[in-house]
Chain A
Amino acid sequence: MATIAPLAQAVSQVVHDGDTVAFEGFTHLIPFAAGHEVIRQGRRDLTLVRMTPDVIYDQLIGAGCARKLVFSWGGNPGVGSLHRFRDAVQNGWPVPLELEEHSHAGMANRYVAAASGLPFAVLRGYVGTDLPKQTDNIKSITCPFTGEVLTAVPALKLDSAVIHAQRADRKGNVQLWGITGVQKEAVLAATRSLVTVEEIVDELEPRPGAVVLPSWVVDYVAEAPGGAHPSYAHDYSTRDNAYYQRWDAISKDRESFRTWLEGVA
């Protein structure tokens, strides 16, 4: 059964120093409020996992919370570069950042393998690219039935997973809809999980295409209305595209980023 708790308490229970942690949400339902709480609590040495590092990881990297990033696309969607991510990779500021890099298909399959309790996943991927030369986590495998050579990637097991959803009920059953990304897989791949929600309701009214995570696979639920901003929660808010554009200027130099960071703390 999930425990319903205030955000600060839930974050301190779920995300620990040194964790391999995923904050997932594919453009939609990105758990920004929980990310900011991690910054406030001063978590360190995290291995941050996420398909699209996006602005949320630019913030965590710039705040010095991460030592490694496992990812497949690190940009500000529709805007350009992530400047804090670039500064960490190119200049080691504020701390050096180790990278492990995949394609989206590879990352998605790594989550699926972990959620499925398998050691690895098989896909048609990475063939002819330079990506396998940069990590031991992409290898070829021969199909035992057809002899075809395919690609294997290891399960992406997480210490903790953090996602944002539209609603939970008072027992901690969680409901999310719209673009659901890899959030279900991330929660099922993790030892500990936290779901922040727009609201806690008495009863989860059925929604077409919704993903429901039963209370017994979730550890903590915290109410955080607007907690996905500047991303969005379908049927609750719209993506704040202007903020993503503003982030480019905020993050461009260390001083303006520091000013932003003081506002979070």
Chain B
Amino acid sequence: MSDYTSDEMMTVAAARALTDGAVCFVGIGLPSTAANLARRTHAPDLVLIYESGTIGSKPATLPLSIGDGVLADSADSLVSVPEIFNYWLQPGRVDVGFLGAAQLDKYANINTTVIGDDYRDPKVRLPGAGGAPEIAASCREVFMIVRQNPRAFVERVDFVTSLGFGRGKGDREELGLRGKGPQLVITDLGVLRPDPETCELTLTHLHPGVDLATAKANTGWDLKVSADLGTTDAPTEQELSALRDLTA
């Protein structure tokens, strides 16, 4: 087995989570890299939707933005921005929303708005919501890909830009949200899933060579660990070469 980076492990693990034929609403950056890797490996019929209005994009090179020309040229259908949100996302036609986050908490709430307690006088101003609040609400399930460190993985986010499970089990249902919410969080250290009883994110897998103490030290809350903690399979040669071709 050749050497690989923790980011490569994360992207490969995220790509594996996408099943062939699924319809996936893709955020730019790490989610887009993982979704395009899935299309080039086990899921050639994965349907990629980007919020710029491209449905069924099959880009030959990795786009830098959600609106690069390669996404439009290779799309099955190209629609306006009001249409992509109203007709395609809102009714619940999308299987998986694939998102990143600046800050994530133990109930998988997402912050991409501000760091700091005061919205009007933030410590750091982040880009904001984009399509994420409605992607997190309306997709059948949400997968997240986030690098794990104590600044990103916090007990409670400073600002809820997009809802995970609120304060715990039942909050989504009470608010009338139809999607199941975040079901999988893939990091550079391992994999977390919501506990079925509490919806608190729980470590289910460590990537090869990562120890539990490292995962805990890089989590800003008292991280719960699954009783049958597993180890992710290392990237195969085929996965690594497909990923490196994509990002070259």
Contacts and interface: CB of A to CB of B under 8 A. Distances in A.
Nearest to B53: A179
Interface of B: 28-29, 51-54, 63-69, 71-72, 78, 80-82, 85-86, 89-90, 113, 119, 122, 124-134, 137-138, 159-163, 166, 171-172, 175-177
A105 B69 contact: no
A72 interface: yes
B127 to A, nearest CB: 3
A254 B121 CA distance: 20
A229 interface: no
B30 to A, nearest CB: 11
Interface of A: 26-28, 51-52, 71-75, 77-79, 81-82, 85-86, 89-90, 101-105, 108-109, 111-112, 123-131, 134, 148-149, 178-182, 184-185, 209, 211, 232, 234, 238-239, 241, 244
B134 A130 contact: no
Given A72-B129, A89-B125, A179-B67, A105 B85 contact: yes
A77 B137 CA distance: 23
Contacts of A103: 129-134
Contact of B28 (A77, A85, A128): A77
A184 B65 contact: no
B133 A105 contact: yes
Contacts, number: 169
A130 B29 contact: no
20 contacts: A28-B67, A51-B81, A71-B128, A73-B129, A77-B64, A78-B29, A103-B131, A103-B132, A108-B81, A108-B85, A109-B82, A109-B85, A127-B133, A130-B113, A131-B133, A134-B119, A178-B69, A179-B67, A180-B80, A181-B67
Given A78-B28, A185-B82, A238 B69 contact: yes
B69 A232 contact: yes
Contact of A77 (B67, B126, B132): B67
B127 A74 contact: yes
B122 A104 contact: no
Contacts of B28: 77-78
